[in-house]
Structure 1
């Protein structure tokens, strides 16, 4: 089995950080640019995970759905960033749940 790549589609600063970790990154500045990048990735077979910036995710939803239809085994996830952070989580509650105690 060939190695699969992690692809990050986000603002330039986020992409740079993920490139330092070895991910493939595409810097975009709008939902339309993000959608174009996702559409270009449809033809590739070497992708295992796509992290799409939360601020562009909704605007690129049609492209994401098309990608998922072609690549049902590839995870496309919403990536929280500084501009649109994720929701806070109760770490203690999640830890207890993971340990089967919550």
Structure 2
């Protein structure tokens, strides 16, 4: 079974580490693309979670990567510092299964 890797702010990363997941603190959102590329090379990562506040400033660069990436699956999640929006769980499941 693969691992979950969170990329986000210090607070969210600490929470995920307490739950036993790996987490990387991203101080500069413009480094996100290179961090994703490093994580994609790892065979043990199945899911990359990126906090919305880190994703928003570089959305244009990351969207094409997210839409074509199948493994690891890359998903944007809300953080305590971002505005949350409802998640389409059905769409996420279909995408994870390769149908979306």
- Assess same fold via TM > 0.5: yes
- RMSD of aligned alpha carbons: 2.4
Task: Tell me the distance in 2 between the aligned counterparts of 1:77 and 1:52.
Answer: 6
Could you tell me whether the CA contact under 8 Å between 1:38 and 1:67 is conserved in 2? no
Task: Tell me the distance in 2 between the aligned counterparts of 1:88 and 1:64.
Answer: 19
Counterpart in 2 of 1:42?
40
Which of 12, 21, 28 is matched with 1:14 structurally? 12
**TM-score w.r.t. length of structure 2:** 0.70
Deviation at 1:47, TM superposition (A): 1.1
Deviation at 1:64, TM superposition (A): 5.9
Poorly superposed stretches of 4+, deviation over 6 Å? none
Task: Tell me the distance in 2 between the aligned counterparts of 1:57 and 1:32.
Answer: 9
SS in 1 for 2:82: coil
Deviation at 1:33, TM superposition (A): 2.3
Query: Any unmatched runs of 5+ in structure 2?
Result: 88-100
> Whose radius of gyration is greater, 1 or 2?
1
